[in-house]
Amino acid sequence: AEFFEGVAPEFVSHLRQGRDDLARLRERADFAFAVSPYNQRELEAIGYGNVQHVPLVVDVHRLRSATPDDSFLAGLGLEGPLVLYVGQVLPHKRPDLLLSLYHVLSTYRVPEASLVVAGAGRLLGYRLAIARYAKQLNLYRCSLPGWVNDAQLAALYANASVFVTCSEHEGFCVPLLEAMAWEVPVVARRFAAIPETLGAGGLLLEPDDGPFVLAEAVDAVLEDAPTRRAMVAAGRE
């Protein structure tokens, strides 16, 4: 709930009510499933017993079999190395930090790089604020297309040079697996379930690393061929 303070007060109340309801249900549950060890630990911390980790089944081959919509990508009018984020545009995903790191990257490191932030913005006010922030930073090689279908998503993954997420709360994070399946190097930060989902398949930075460190990491992935090959191989494995 703390991520939404000052952004969506009514949503904060719903999240808090959901947490309270979850705690009350523990006495009625004989067992519980969690899709990640992180979620398992959260359930156990509020008193659930007999919590089993059942990994989320993700059919990455379904997305790989989609025919990429190259016309969608061409319509974005972007050139150069493509930095990609896929996920909801919500406060806990930290799209503001993603835009900041791209600002540093395109200003000081890789001026020809482009950024695509693909995902639904379920809170209109927040989505508009992120769009305004991108405009204020003069990120003319940045695109926020919103929700995309499988063909459009396949085109993005097929052409991405690096996948980056600045998210600070994930129960699993499916896009990490999608990126690795498309052999796209991943840069992320050590939050929630991200380390256990990513494993050795990407470059994992520390929680307090800011836009300059993130930009340096992305630059290293883009410019260092051996690093890219090692990350792609680890992601495939």
CA nearest to 32, candidates 5, 50, 6:
50
Confidence of residue 37 (pLDDT cuts 50, 70, 90): very high
Q: Which residue has the tokens 């060890």?
A: 37
Over residues 101-116, mean pLDDT:
97
State residue 138's pLDDT score: 96
Q: What is the pLDDT of residues 40-82, one digit of tens each?
A: 999 999 999 999 999 999 898 889 999 999 999 999 999 899 9
Q: How many CB atoms lie within 10 A of CB 95?
A: 27
Q: How much of the chain, in percent, has pLDDT values that exceed 70? A: 100
Please say if the pLDDT value at position 172 is more than 90.
yes
Question: Rounded CA gap, 197 and 175, in Å?
Answer: 10
pLDDT of residue 129: 96
For the ranges 20-29, 56-65, 132-141, 196-205, the lowest mean pLDDT is seen at 56-65
So what's the pLDDT on residue 108? 96
pLDDT surpasses 90 at 188: yes
Buried b / exposed e over 111-140, threshold 16 CB at 10 Å, is eebbbbbbbebebeebbebbbeebeebebe
User: At 15, is the pLDDT very low, low, confident or very high (cuts 50, 70, 90)?
Assistant: very high
Query: What percent of the chain is helix, strand and coil (3-state, nearest 5)?
Result: 50, 15, 35
Span 123-147, pLDDT tens digits? 999 999 999 999 999 999 999 999 9
pLDDT, average across residues 20-42: 95
Per-position b or e across 175-201, b if 16+ CB within 10 A of its CB: bbbbbbbbebbbbbbebbbbbebbeeb
Whether 8 contacts 125, CB under 8 Å: yes
Closest Cα partner for 110 from 189, 203, 216? 216
Contacts of residue 64, Cβ cutoff 8 Å, sequence gap at least 6: 154, 181, 182
Q: What is the pLDDT of residue 60?
A: 85
pLDDT for 61 equals: 87
